[in-house]
Structure 1
Amino acid sequence: MDGEIQALNELTQHTSKRPPPGGLSDLAFGSLAGMAGKVVEYPFDTVKVRLQTSSSQVFAGTLDCLRQTWTNEGFRGFYRGLTSPLAGAMAENAVAFYAYNQIQQLIRRASATPSEVGLGLPHLFMSGGVSGAICAFVISPVELVKCKLQVENVPGNAQQGGVRFKGPLSVVGHLLRTEGVAGLYRGIGPTVARETLGVGFWFGTYEMVCRELLRRKGKQAVDKDALGPGSIILAGGCAGIAYNVTSYPIDVVKSMIQTADVRSTEAQSGSPARKGGVVATARAVYSAGGVPAFYRGLGITLLRAFPANAAMFMTYEYLSRLVAR
């Protein structure tokens, strides 16, 4: 075991022979990776948000939510509100990959680490966490719009005043009229917390799994070009699992805050969740179902996490390889 740990630590002192893309390449490849992942994951995400924001009296579980969505809305119901998060995923991932690589360069300069020497895993986890905090300000308004559209059609839910949203622009217009720009950033606090923790583990886990797979291949340098599609799928899938397992309870609180005015039980009362505080909302979630309530919908989330994140990293990795040729 000590020998394996030493070998893995040695790998962290090397970097890929292919330098990471920079600038416009990061933005373009990250954008396309985000689009690929979002198309794969969105139906699962719709079920997740509906489970997170509904009681067991509305949906008995994942299969019941799937059945009701299909019966009441058909195939299109699973993709309700896709336009906004698709654009958001492209923007978020473009920023995430760009910021991730740029933060690594800042760390190199601050620590006088030459470009041919790889950063250690703690630095990579930290780079991912900082990039996640930055991304939160890009994705928060997008997720707010997405969650409202996903939850609005759940049986029994209705916007206060009888408002029915026609699409993303309808949601944005309503928020600007009733709450101003600040309304677009409802839930920004838990979003920042979720992205800082989750994206740190997302990038960190991806790098850690890649390095372990390279070590098993007997490679002496961290060269992702030596990894085939199966390895990238495994590393990307594990990254998605790590992101969701670590940040899911925060995501539940965030979703509850962002959909409080759409869910009938909250819209009709001055409940803690309706008032919008993070602590009050967390207490309301706990009171409703204890610790398990913070993990309602986790199963469907993990089911979508593996293929969606594998698709994202595969897209980014192979586009980067094409440019390096």
Structure 2
Amino acid sequence: MSLATETTPLSSPSPIGEMKGKEAVMEALEDITFGSIAGIAGKYIEYPFDTVKVRLQSQPDHLPLRYRGPVDCFKQGLRSDGIIGLYRGISAPLVGAALETSSLFFWERVGREVAFSAGLYNREKPLPLSALFLTGAFAGAFTSLVLTPVELVKCRIQVPATASTDGMVHKAPTPLSVIREVFRHHGLRGFWNGQMGTLIRETGGSAAWFGSKETVTLLFHKWNAKSSQNSAASSTELLPLPLWQQAIAGATAGMSYNFLFYPADTVKSRMQTSSVTPGSLSPSFSQEAATLWKQYGLKGLYRGCGMTVARSAPSSAFIFIIFDALKGYFHIS
């Protein structure tokens, strides 16, 4: 399934409105279910690299840098905690991955429905790429509200334990202990600390994620048509791309998502890993960004970016391949 070539309405033409509603609900349930499966699979691939990224991003300003780079961070993590340490706290991110991916596909579909209902586009014609960038941004904005609390818990668990004022190194926190601590000190609002960073990253990143995937998919369709001299085929009758081309399109989407708005994610991670003390408030997004820029410049905002972009390629490729395969299989069935 390619979003750019999926030109039919959410339900097939039918004189019975109830049937159309049921089909729309089934499509939404498919997006949520298949998106969850794809998101969980992708998270298992990328999580160790995400742990390294968070540790690089959250190094304190007032101390010498603990890690020289991604490779050094990875080695130190293996020496101190083993491979299990790199998967520390994965339970919350697995839930988050399922929520994020299913939410993205669900809200992207809602965004297209909004555009159709508003009369901006014709249901019977393929959506232009510009529209897919907009529906991707729409999906990311709504998804950010779900993601911020999950990522706050994840980031706090991923940061390695350090010695406290009493000289003791305490046990790494669990998801429940982090939830209790945040709620005790800052209440429900505390779980959305870093929301601005997540909103910027998800809105812009999701626009790039959906848009770049469909751009590359369209380029491959044109290339395949030219190679096979099958240019007479209409855009609604395009054959599925070979697996390797689907992988490249998905990988391109992941790299675009992570690179373009990475600084927002860096600021967000620093805000979410700052110490939680009674009555204290974390710096605002702009304050945190200004502090980081003043001390480290652009390099500080992109700390850990190479590792993140590298791990996002296979992860995003798997997510789209699995999602498209499940959608295609059940529609054929």
* 2:165 is the alignment partner of 1:151: no
Percent pairwise identity: 34
Q: 1:89 corresponds to which residue?
A: 97
Contact 1:35 1:90 in 2 (8 A): yes
Distance 1:114 1:280, change over 3 A: closer
Alignment of 1:277-288 (within 5 A): 277-288=284-295
* 2:134 is the alignment partner of 1:126: yes
Q: Secondary structure at the match of 2:118?
A: helix
Distance 1:51 1:112, change over 3 A: closer
Read off the aligned partner of 2:191 and give its amino acid letter.
L
Q: Secondary structure at the match of 2:235?
A: coil
Contact 1:129 1:197 in 2 (8 A): yes
Deviation string for 1:193-245 (max 9, x for gaps)? Answer: 11101011100111111011001111531566521211111000000010011
Query: TM-score of the superposition, structure 1-length normalised?
Result: 0.86
Distance 1:175 1:165, change over 3 A: farther
**1:163 Cα deviation from its structure 2 partner:** 7.1
**1:111 Cα deviation from its structure 2 partner:** 2.1
Read off the aligned partner of 1:206 and give its amino acid letter.
K
**1:106 Cα deviation from its structure 2 partner:** 1.6
- Give the Cα separation in 2 of the matches to 1:131 and 1:163: 39
Q: Of the candidates 199, 212, 218, which is equivalent to residue 206 of structure 2?
A: 199
Q: 1:232 corresponds to which residue?
A: 246
**1:53 Cα deviation from its structure 2 partner:** 1.1
Q: 2:185 corresponds to which residue?
A: 178
* 2:304 is the alignment partner of 1:306: no
Distance 1:221 1:169, change over 3 A: same
Distance 1:118 1:156, change over 3 A: farther
Distance 1:89 1:157, change over 3 A: farther
Contact 1:33 1:311 in 2 (8 A): yes
RMSD between aligned alpha carbons? Answer: 2.5
Count of matched residue positions in the alignment of Structure 1 and Structure 2: 302
Q: Of the candidates 266, 276, 285, which is equivalent to residue 252 of structure 1?
A: 266
Q: Secondary structure at the match of 2:5?
A: coil
Read off the aligned partner of 1:276 and give its amino acid letter.
P
- Give the Cα separation in 2 of the matches to 1:234 and 1:157: 46
Q: 1:215 corresponds to which residue?
A: 222
Structure 2, unmatched stretches of 5+, are 11-25, 226-232
**1:114 Cα deviation from its structure 2 partner:** 3.6
Deviation string for 1:228-279 (max 9, x for gaps)? Answer: 21111100000001001111000011011101117xxxx8xx9xxx742111
Deviation string for 1:4-40 (max 9, x for gaps)? Answer: xxxxxxxx9x834787772111110111111111111
